[in-house]
């Protein structure tokens, strides 16, 4: 139930943090950092699409990298890039949590398992190098 509440809260987070009229005033770095949160990333993408539609241009693959305002460097290409980056970050978090706390039928690893050196890998590497 707590996960549902957190998920519901994050869906309303973009409107609470950034009113649509203040979208242009946010800096590029802040937009990139905020775009790591998937819900905010979708909200920013919808803002860009809305602005493109209001300008009677629309969003096509040809203008994905174009600025919507002369002073705004954040484009739809950045939204797509940050979506891929956040997916990779969430993949790493899921992989780590699944390794440390695998559930009922798994064997848990140590909390520092991503940083352990595997002796088998280096011994095979050394063996193939000198044969």
What is the per-residue pLDDT across 72-112, written as a single tens digit (0 to 9) for each? 889 999 999 999 999 999 999 999 998 898 888 888 888 88
Q: What is the pLDDT of residue 77?
A: 95
- In the chain, the N- to C-terminal Cα span, in Å, equals 58
Residue matched to tokens 């088998």:
120
As given in the structure block, the two tokens for residue 45 are 């993408």
Q: What is the pLDDT of residue 79?
A: 94
Helix, strand or coil for residue 70?
coil
**pTM value > 0.85:** no
Residue 13 has pLDDT above 80, yes or no: no
CA-angle at 105, arms to 100 and 109, nearest 5°:
25
8/2 Cα distance (integer angstroms): 10
What is the per-residue pLDDT across 21-53, written as a single tens digit (0 to 9) for each? 777 788 889 889 888 888 888 888 988 898 889
Q: What is the pLDDT of residue 10?
A: 64
Which uninterrupted H or E stretch holds 7? helix 2-17
Helix axes 38-54, 76-100, angle to 10 degrees: 170
Q: Which residues contact 43 (CB under 8 A, 6 or more apart)?
A: 14, 15
Is residue 32 within 8 Å of residue 82, measured between CB atoms?
Answer: yes
């Amino acid at each position: 139930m707590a996960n549902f509440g957190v998920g519901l809260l994050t869906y309303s987070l973009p409107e609470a943090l950034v009113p649509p009229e203040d979208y242009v005033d946010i800096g590029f770095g802040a937009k990139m950092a905020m775009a790591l949160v998937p819900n905010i990333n979708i909200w920013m993408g919808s803002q860009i699409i809305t602005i493109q539609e209001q300008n009677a241009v629309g969003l096509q693959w040809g203008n994905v990298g174009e600025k919507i305002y002369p002073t705004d460097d954040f484009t739809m290409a950045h939204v797509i890039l940050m979506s891929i980056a956040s997916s990779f970050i969430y993949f790493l978090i899921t992989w780590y949590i699944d390794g440390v706390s695998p559930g009922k039928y798994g064997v848990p690893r140590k909390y520092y398992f991503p940083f352990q050196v595997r002796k088998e890998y280096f011994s095979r590497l050394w063996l193939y190098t000198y044969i």
